[in-house]
Amino acid sequence: MTELPHKGGQLVSVADKSRLRPPLPLQKTPQIMENNTPPVSGIRFAHLSVMKMKKTNIGFTLVELPVVSKCKGGAFTLVELLVVVAIIALLISILLPSLSRAKDITRETICLTRLGGQLRGLFMYAVENGDFLPTGPDAPMGLPMPPLPYSSIATNQLWIGDIPAYNGCGALIEAHLPAEEFFFCPGDNSSDPAEELAKLRDRGGQDAYGSYLYRQRDQAESARLDRLGRNDDGAPVTALLMDINSEMPGMPARHNHSGRRVNVGFADSHAAGFDNSEKVFTLREQDVFNPFGRLDEILKYADSLGR
């Protein structure tokens, strides 16, 4: 048996010659780093393979390890997309009513602030005018028959174009409440607040109406703040100002806060909001033949809330 020399001084028998592998062909191979991975620079490969040394009984051989991709498909399935869309739709349906209610509360708060500003204006006017509250002119309205003076009827009218003259709270504009916007509720959902505001600023030959019903001397013994007296039911007069709500045919429907709530200002200087789901503050369709009687009912009900 012939023995052949081998690297390292070891002898290998001819019988074991078949176990010898032919030498690797000369080619550019990536250099082996200390961590057994090829450097980034060097020969370009179709993909980056991981090379490591495998020890055999005749030496070391380079072995290419299989490449395991670290990236997996990131696309959503149709079912997953539908679930996400359904969740978003559910959240929107929950949040929208809350946002709408939040806007309503904001409008009611601004309305209450503006009504309170008018109350303060009324008190300032009374201080400067012998404790008398402002009223419209004593000229007859023309209706009902026999005609009643403007000053004796609760109204949301601010300017009388025919005379011309202020009516009700309109008298506050000259000195105590020059910002005409304060006479209009942000929750006024009638079709004409902007138009009425323009008429009020013009002070011309057209009547102008605001968003608040002012009592004047209606269902009161006098216009003096300290001597308002009692209404026809014998109860003390307490309410001075409130949101207007009218559904009577023949005139534009006018609601503040969609008629659901009504803010009321009282003679003791406080203001508060009340439920109107039963339309206790509303001029209804059936009141078209007796609107002034219905106004009296509304005022007397408001008086009962201020006691």
Residues 298, 224 share a domain = yes
Provide the 10 A C-beta neighbour count for residue 213: 31
Residue 209 lies in a domain: yes
Going 26 to 31 to 37 to 43, the CA torsion angle's sign is: negative
The answer to whether position 74 is within a domain reads no
What global pTM score does this model have? Answer: 0.69
Assess whether 51 and 163 both reside in one domain.
no
**Separation of CA 72 from chain center:** 43
pLDDT of res. 33 = 46
185 located within any domain: yes
140, part of any domain:
yes
Contact 110, 186 (CB under 8 A): yes
6 in any annotated domain: no
| pLDDT at residue 47, rounded to an integer | 45
Please list the rounded mean pLDDT of every run of 10 residues in the chain (307 residues). 48 49 50 48 44 55 56 73 90 81 86 93 94 93 77 93 93 89 89 87 93 95 94 96 90 84 94 94 92 94 93
CA gap 242, 214 in Å, rounded? 7
- Whether residues 124 and 266 share a domain: the answer is yes
pLDDT of residue 25: 52
Statement to judge: residues 132 and 209 lie in one domain:
yes
Q: Are residues 57 and 111 in the same domain?
A: no
Residue 236 dihedral angles phi and psi, to the nearest 5°? -60, 140
Q: What pLDDT shows up at residue 32? A: 45
244 and 119 in one domain? yes
pLDDT of residue 95: 82
Q: Determine the longest span between alpha carbons in the chain, in angstroms.
A: 148
Q: How far apart are CA 110 and CA 118, in angstroms?
A: 13
User: Domain total for the chain?
Assistant: 2
Name the nearest CA neighbour of 218 among 307, 155, 280.
155
Q: Are residues 174 and 112 in the same domain?
A: yes
Assess whether 127 and 45 both reside in one domain.
Answer: no
Q: Would residue 38 count as lying in a domain?
A: yes
Q: Counting beta carbons within 10 angstroms of the beta carbon of residue 162, is it exposed (0 to 12), middle (13 to 18) or buried (19 or more)?
A: exposed
Print the domain residue range for 37. 14-22+30-64
Dist CA 9 CA 108 (whole Å): 102
End-to-end CA gap in the chain:
129
Do 49 and 131 fall into the same domain? no
300 and 174 inside one domain: yes
Residue 197 lies in a domain: yes
Residue 8 belongs to some domain of the structure: no
